[in-house]
Structures are given as C-alpha cells and as structure tokens.
C-alpha cells in the first residue's frame, strides 16, 4: 500500500532564513538527489514562518532530498521530516459512545498487524486504517488508546449509542470510539 506523504521543512530562524528560497524537493531511489523526480516545482517558504509542509502524494523512494536551484547557493535549514499525510487517507467522523453490545465489532486478534497489547501499539490509528482498508471497509474506529474496530457495516452502526466526550488524542477512550472514514480509494 502506498501511503501519501508530507515533507515538512523547518527553516532556520536564527539568521539566513531567506537563503532557502526557492528550493526543490526530490524523492526517489537514487542517492544522487537531482536524478530523482521532483515533488512540485520551485517552492517558496514564508521566511517569518518556521516550517512549510509539502504534499508529495503518489511519490515513493528511498531518498528525500532538498535542493537549491541555481549556482553557488548555500543550503541552510534546520530539519526535514517525512510524515504520513493523514488528511489524504481518512476523515474523522467524531467521538462516539460504545457499550458491551458493540456498535462496531473489534478486529483485535483477526490480523497479525493487530497482534500484541493494543495499549502499547505504535501508531494505532495507522495500523487500524491499514487493516480496515485492506478488507475493503469504509469506516474504522480506535478505542482506549489503540483497540481497533471495523466491519462492513461500521458506516451504518458507529453512531448507535450517540456522541461521546470521552475521546483523547484521536485514539478514543474508555467506551468511546474515535471514528474515521477511509477517503483514499
């Protein structure tokens, strides 16, 4: 599965912020930056802002490079992060109450990617999304800091018990589901 990515560039704020403009981002499998395809064209950062996020949807590769077009330019920046672009993958439908007679069935133990303790699962929303998407489901939910729920009927049943205020940080809460609609088809 190809995951849409954002490349986040953090510019220097101590001095020299203007040196970065314009710049290019290249993504590909060559260690030679200029041999890899460009993500968009020349990019400008507002020098009063500390960072810019650039969506590089559909691109893949082992290397992400930042290049300054032109001659004799000095690349000075603070940091580069490559992160999933969640906004292209799912849309949050809110926080919804759950009960013993589940609104959405649990997927725990049904897929090796959901093995182990859900409370210590790294990036539980992403893992639940991947399993639900691979099964062709349209909606998934995360509860209690990582427990994964979904089914073919989740889109019809997630709101069965009404809204809840018990969700925290996108990973649900005790008897509360953070519910997401899968939007990348």
Last residue of a domain, one of 31, 61, 86: 86
- In tens, the pLDDT along 55-68 reads 998 888 899 999 99
Phi, psi of 87 (to 5 degrees): -65, -20
Question: Token digits for 56?
Answer: 């590089």
State in Å, rounded, how far the first CA of the chain is from the last one: 11
Q: Looking up tokens 């893949």, which residue turns up?
A: 60
**pLDDT level of residue 78 (50, 70, 90 thresholds):** very high
Which residue did the predictor score with more confidence, 4 or 105?
105
CA-to-CA separations, 46 to 76, 79, 99, 115, in angstroms, rounded:
15, 16, 48, 44
Q: Which of 32, 63, 86 is the last residue of a domain?
A: 86
Residues 82 and 93 in one domain: no
Residues 6+ apart with CB under 8 A from 76: 12, 16, 19, 20
Q: Both 107 and 138 in a single domain? A: yes
Measured CA to CA, the distance from residue 127 to residue 123 in angstroms comes to 6
pLDDT, tens digit, 9 for 90 and up, residues 10-25: 999 999 899 999 999 9
* Domain CATH for 9: 2.60.120.260
Question: What is the mean pLDDT of the segment spanning 118-142?
Answer: 94
Q: How many angstroms separate the CA atoms of 72 and 122, rounded?
A: 43
The beta strand positions in 38-157, using DSSP E, are 51-55, 63-67, 77-84, 90-97, 139-143, 147-150
Amino acid 179: pLDDT: 98
**Where in the sequence is the domain holding 155, given as residue range(s)?**
89-182
Same-domain pairing of 109 and 139: yes
């Amino acid at each position: 599965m190809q995951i849409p990515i954002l490349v986040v560039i953090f510019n220097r704020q101590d001095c020299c912020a203007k040196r970065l403009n314009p710049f290019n981002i290249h993504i590909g499998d060559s260690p030679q930056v200029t041999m890899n395809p460009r993500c968009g064209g020349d990019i400008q950062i507002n020098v009063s802002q500390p960072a810019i996020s650039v969506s590089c949807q559909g691109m893949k590769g082992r290397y992400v490079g930042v290049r300054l077009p032109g001659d004799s330019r000095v690349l000075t920046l603070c940091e580069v992060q490559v992160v999933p672009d969640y906004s292209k993958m799912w849309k949050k439908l809110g926080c919804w109450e759950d009960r013993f007679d589940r609104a959405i069935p649990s997927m725990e133990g049904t897929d090796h990617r959901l093995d182990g303790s859900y409370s210590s699962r790294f990036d539980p929303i992403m893992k639940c999304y991947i399993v639900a998407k691979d099964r062709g489901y349209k909606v998934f939910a995360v509860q209690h800091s990582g427990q994964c729920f979904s089914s073919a009927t989740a889109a019809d049943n997630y709101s069965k018990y009404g809204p809840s205020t018990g969700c925290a940080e996108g990973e649900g809460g005790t008897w509360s589901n953070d519910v997401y609609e899968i939007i990348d088809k």
